[in-house]
Amino acid sequence: MNYKESKEILDSVKAANNILIGCHKSPDDDTVGGATAIYGALTKMGKVAKLVCSEDIPPYLAYIPETKNFKKIDFQSFDFSKYDLFITVDSSELKLVTAVPEIESLDINIIVIDHHKTNSGYGNINLIKKISSTSEIIYKLFEDWEVKFDKNIASSLLAGIIGDTGSFKYRGVTKETFTIASKLVDFGADRDEIISQIYFNLDIDLVRAVGKIIGAIKVDKEGEFAWSAVPFESVKECDNIGEAKSFAASLFIGAVKGAKFGIVIIEKEKGIIGISLRSRKGFDVSELAVQLGGGGHPSAAAAIIEGSFNNTVEKILTTARDYVKKKK
């Protein structure tokens, strides 16, 4: 048995008739891959399951099996009385699931499956392990459940693992991570197709947006970090600006020589600023993300702030400089 929580979660699933499976806002490969894998496993068990999200799933994640079954819902008006159980995936706080900070609880039993060390444990059952990805946790959970892996389940989990580890380059990747990835390939997951979809299938407007982010990179010598800030006017033509932000952060901002970490700041909409953080040499960016109102894990984290662009950028940079001083 990998996890002591596995039986309790399975008992709850068996006792439920209608089950919701939810991912976090600004969905990525891990939350969508983990959620769709659970959907596939529950469907195999004969359970009625529904995939839900506070936002539409971005088109670039359509390569993950079962994404077409996601339904966008308004958590403030949704009727939970028709459902027995809600499984949240890769979401360290309830507000990341609902996208409504004012909602502090839901009238339904919640199972939390997550790998972020900042998770508040808001579920009735919490399976929280500080490993490379939530998809890796779900693989081991399925082992405990003796799930029969098929190509779709394997593909969803491998997409989550590859996406959240940056193709195995972030901290937290272990020998076991590679072993699990190998087993998922044996079950039918196409590693080459997943890599192609994540890294080599970019819309031209997204490439241009990434170029603008790269062109704006600066190095803050006081804080020893690299950063790039781009206002809405410069990226408004890009439909997938969230993907551009993450792509630039993962491949470029975190690779600047002499920087301990990198910050990409993008005004996604007027007054809505998205932040992606990536570390170098083991520097923990998750605590900085929490200070900015977000979360994540040591190698990669994110946050969203509302406010004027210039004032918010200065607030982020000041917070980052202060954080580095305290870490010293």
- Predicted confidence at residue 131, as pLDDT, reads 93
- Predicted confidence at residue 144, as pLDDT, reads 98
- Predicted confidence at residue 246, as pLDDT, reads 85
Please list the residue range(s) of the chain that carry CATH number 3.10.310.30: 204-327
How far apart CA 226 and CA 320 sit, in angstroms, is 11
- Predicted confidence at residue 159, as pLDDT, reads 98
- Predicted confidence at residue 169, as pLDDT, reads 86
Q: Architecture of domain 204-327 in CATH? A: Roll (3.10)
How far apart CA 191 and CA 322 sit, in angstroms, is 41
- Predicted confidence at residue 306, as pLDDT, reads 94
Name residue 93's amino acid: E
How far apart CA 56 and CA 54 sit, in angstroms, is 7
Distance of CA 306 to the CA centre of its chain: 20
- Predicted confidence at residue 196, as pLDDT, reads 94
- The residue count for the chain: 328
| Predicted TM-score (pTM) of this structure | 0.88
Distance of CA 136 to the CA centre of its chain: 13
CATH of domain 6-199: 3.90.1640.10
State the greatest distance between any 2 C-alpha atoms of the chain, in Å, as a whole number.
Answer: 58
- Predicted confidence at residue 22, as pLDDT, reads 98
CA-based nearest residue to 90, from 323, 316, 300: 300
How far apart CA 163 and CA 111 sit, in angstroms, is 23
CA-based nearest residue to 295, from 130, 160, 87: 130
Instruction: Characterize 157-196 residue by residue with b for buried, 16 or more Cβ atoms within 10 angstroms of its Cβ, and e for exposed.
Output: bbbbbbbbbbeeebbbbeeebeebbebbbebebbbeebee
Please list the residue range(s) of the chain that carry CATH number 3.90.1640.10: 6-199
pLDDT tens series, the chain, 328 aa: 999 999 999 999 999 999 999 999 989 999 999 999 999 999 999 999 999 999 999 888 999 999 999 999 999 999 999 999 999 999 999 999 999 999 999 999 999 999 988 888 999 999 999 999 999 999 999 999 999 999 999 999 999 999 999 899 888 899 999 999 999 999 999 999 999 999 888 889 888 899 999 999 999 998 899 999 999 998 888 877 888 888 888 888 878 888 999 999 999 899 999 999 999 877 899 999 999 988 888 888 889 999 999 999 999 999 999 999 998 7
